Amino acid sequence: MLLKTLSEARGVSGNEAAIREILLPAVEPFIDEHRVDALGNLICLRKARRERVAGGSERVLVAAHMDEIGLIITDINSDGSLRYAKVGGIDDRTLLSKQVLVGEKAVPGVIGFRPIHLIGRGGLEKKADISQTVVDIGASSKESAARLVQVGDYVTFRTGFEVLAEDGLRCAKGKAFDDRVGCAVLVEALQGDYAFDLYAVFTTQEEVGLRGARVAGYRINPDIAIALEGTVCDDLPKEKDADVTPVTQLGHGPAVSYRDSSVICDKNLVRLITETAAAEGIPWQYRRSAVGGTDAGALHLVREGVRAAVISVPCRYIHAPVSMVSLNDFDNAVRLVKAVLTHLEGGLEA
């Protein structure tokens, strides 16, 4: 399963080469051209397979980012432990006692933290000070650690992919579903035939500022742009009597954004997406929050502006060492993206 391979691969922002090496052979049978730009974006072109419709789209860009959140080594202490910094948005509380892999050699380690026995009653009520933690690889000195890792090495969480339930929601757990799930959807979308040039862009450095999408969008200058994402799912029970609508719910289909903190989506493109889902009998839901940004935030500002939207797969525990998705939602996201691209052949209302 491609999603499993992508989830278990290691590619923190700025270090996405391993993800490109998986994606390129997966898409090569379906594309006419590809290139890798200076920021590491994998830009793939599937030329129009049918005659263009008068007034229809000419260039459609669909993006999914390859990078994941993680850490980077900033120093090696005299005792062999490793200092680190976060890459991307990570809640400090999720880091404590987690297993990790360091550098190209995938050196195993643990983010160490004081045991509960040594924390006073008052300390338990305080937020953990992550600056006091280190990555412990079992080295006994700076010299021995330096033989295995070096400053600047990336650190990923050590999380395996696993299907948890074959029936019902068909859940799977793994790491980096934000946005390897979008990458896997995009690979499937590339297998369709469309009456326009489809640019599938697997972008870099989304988690640190939508950087890859910005330069790729400028180069392609598309008519329409769609970002594919793994997004927040907070559908588990809330506090007693809390009346809070979830951002998304697992198993309710792909999520369609009308806005987030980086973009106000094109209303006619959003309408086309939702009407297409209804016409095709594809379950879908709105993403009911404006928090967070996506590649659409960079793409819609390219040159004179690009009409953009976002389609997401809900992910529980996003931006954490392990997340969960519904494979039903994944399958329906593939169906929706292919159907939307087909409907875009006739163009989009002004």
142: helix, strand or coil: helix
d(Cα 258, Cα 179) in Å, to the nearest integer? 19
d(Cα 56, Cα 349) in Å, to the nearest integer? 10
d(Cα 213, Cα 40) in Å, to the nearest integer? 11
Nearest to 14 by CA among 176, 110, 174, 153: 153
Annotation marks residue 206 as catalytic: yes
Alpha helices in 221-326 (DSSP H): 267-280, 296-299
d(Cα 150, Cα 104) in Å, to the nearest integer? 10
Alpha helices in 103-148 (DSSP H): 121-124, 142-146
- The catalytic residue among 188, 206, 207, 229 is 206
288: helix, strand or coil: coil
Pairing status of strand 285-286 against strand 255-256: parallel
Positions marked active-site: 206
